[in-house]
């Protein structure tokens, strides 16, 4: 190769082609599939809590995308049904995640609806699960001598409770818990919901092959 311009044009054309296939066409298809019926926009408090979730980087250990039963036992673990594109219509930035150092949170509001549990767990995860490696978030809470009216006091086992006074939740902690409590995608998915059905298709094919073998 000896000329710069053809090299530059062809390189950019190839990337444009990839952008068309990986971003633009899927974007149009996802747009067309619309919002899942049953999905509600975030309330103001939930949106604030989601911002706390994003800012603390919860994404780096928690996914929000339960898998299909043909692939993994996410449903059996109580993480909820396999999600579809329409379930994320109000999400920006998306928080699908690529790690499960901790469990999937797409339906944490179903699984752990208690505000008290969530607050204790955020203040000190090891107060609830000794094996947990989740960070503690003490800075989302305040240490006071006495709770003021309207304060939400965090219940703590003696080993993690302060010697005197109480631990109360700051607004960020309350918002974050409101967001987590709202993570419930228990409505029925749309019939034409968009998701990777590769594993279901593979399982169906396997099933057919087995049936064909059995009938021989």
Partner 1 sequence: MQITPTLGLLLALSFIVSLLALTALIWAIANKQVHTPDQDDARSIFQPGEGAEIDSPALPHHFDTARSGIDKSSAGPVMWLISMGVFWLIYGSIHGLAASLELHLPDLMSGSAHMTFGRMRTVHLNSVIYGWSSQAGLAAIFWIIPRIFHTPLRLGWMVNLGTLIWNLGVAAGVLAIANGWTDGLEWLEIPWQIDIALAIGAACFVAPLIATTRARKVHHIYVSGWYFLAGVLWFPMLFIIANIPGLHWGVEQATMNWWFAHNVLGLWLTPLGVGTAYYFIPKIIGKPIYSYSVSLVGFWALALFYSQVGIHHLIGGPVPTWLVTLSVVHSIMMFVPVIAVAINQHVTVARNLWALKASMPLRFISFGAVCYTLASFQGSIEALRSVNTITHFTQYTIGHAHLGAYAFVSLVLFGAIYQIVPRATGKYFPFPRLIAWHFWLVVVGFAVYFFSLTIGGVLQGLAMLDASKPFADSVILLKPYLEGRSLGGGLMTLGHILLAVNLIALAFSKRTQDLETEPMVAAQ
Whole-number minimum distance, CB 111 to partner 1, in Å?
Answer: 11
Cα-to-chain-centroid distance, residue 125: 18
Residue holding tokens 């968009």?
194
Cα-to-chain-centroid distance, residue 58: 9
> Is-contact 44 35, C-beta < 8 A?
no
Q: Which residue(s) pair with 204 in the sheet?
A: none
Whole-number minimum distance, CB 70 to partner 1, in Å?
Answer: 9
- Contact between 1 and partner 1 per CB under 8 A: yes
- Of residues 114, 157, 162, 201, which one binds partner 1 by CB under 8 A? 201
Question: Could you give the C-alpha distances from 50 to 6, 182, 190, 197, in angstroms and in order?
Answer: 46, 10, 25, 29
- Contact between 57 and partner 1 per CB under 8 A: yes
Span 98-157, contacts to partner 1 by CB under 8 A: 98-103, 125-126, 129, 131-139
- Report the distance separating Cα 207 and Cα 216, nearest Å: 15
Whole-number minimum distance, CB 58 to partner 1, in Å?
Answer: 6
- Of residues 46, 81, 95, 141, which one binds partner 1 by CB under 8 A? 95
- Contact between 55 and partner 1 per CB under 8 A: yes
Whole-number minimum distance, CB 177 to partner 1, in Å?
Answer: 17
Give the nearer residue to partner 1 in terms of CB position, either 15 or 146. 15
- Of residues 46, 48, 68, 122, which one binds partner 1 by CB under 8 A? 68
Q: Give yes or no for a cis peptide into 93 (omega within 30° of 0).
A: yes
- Contact between 188 and partner 1 per CB under 8 A: no
- Report the distance separating Cα 33 and Cα 36, nearest Å: 8
Span 8-47, contacts to partner 1 by CB under 8 A: 8, 10-12, 14-15, 17-19, 21-23, 25-27, 29-31
> Is-contact 89 36, C-beta < 8 A?
yes
Whole-number minimum distance, CB 126 to partner 1, in Å?
Answer: 7
Q: Which residue(s) pair with 30 in the sheet?
A: none
């Amino acid at each position: 190769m000896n000329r710069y311009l053809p090299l530059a044009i062809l390189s950019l054309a190839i990337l444009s082609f990839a952008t068309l296939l990986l971003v633009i066409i899927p974007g149009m298809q996802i747009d067309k599939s619309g919002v899942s019926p049953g999905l509600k926009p975030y309330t103001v408090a939930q949106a604030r809590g989601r911002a706390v979730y994003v800012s603390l980087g919860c994404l780096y250990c928690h996914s929000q995308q339960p898998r299909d039963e043909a692939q993994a036992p996410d449903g059996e673990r109580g993480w909820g049904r396999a999600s579809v594109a329409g379930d994320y219509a109000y999400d920006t930035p998306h928080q699908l995640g690529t790690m499960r150092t901790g469990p999937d949170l797409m339906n944490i509001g179903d699984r752990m609806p208690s505000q008290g549990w969530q607050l204790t767990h955020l203040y000190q995860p090891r107060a609830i699960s000794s094996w947990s490696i989740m960070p503690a978030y003490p800075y989302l809470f305040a240490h006071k001598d006495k709770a003021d009216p309207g304060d939400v006091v965090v219940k703590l086992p003696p080993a993690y409770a302060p010697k005197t006074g109480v631990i109360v939740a700051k607004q960020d902690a309350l918002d974050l818990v409101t967001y987590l409590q709202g993570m419930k995608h228990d409505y029925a998915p749309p019939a034409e919901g968009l998701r990777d059905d590769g594993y279901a298709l593979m399982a169906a094919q396997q099933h057919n092959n087995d049936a064909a073998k059995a009938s021989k």
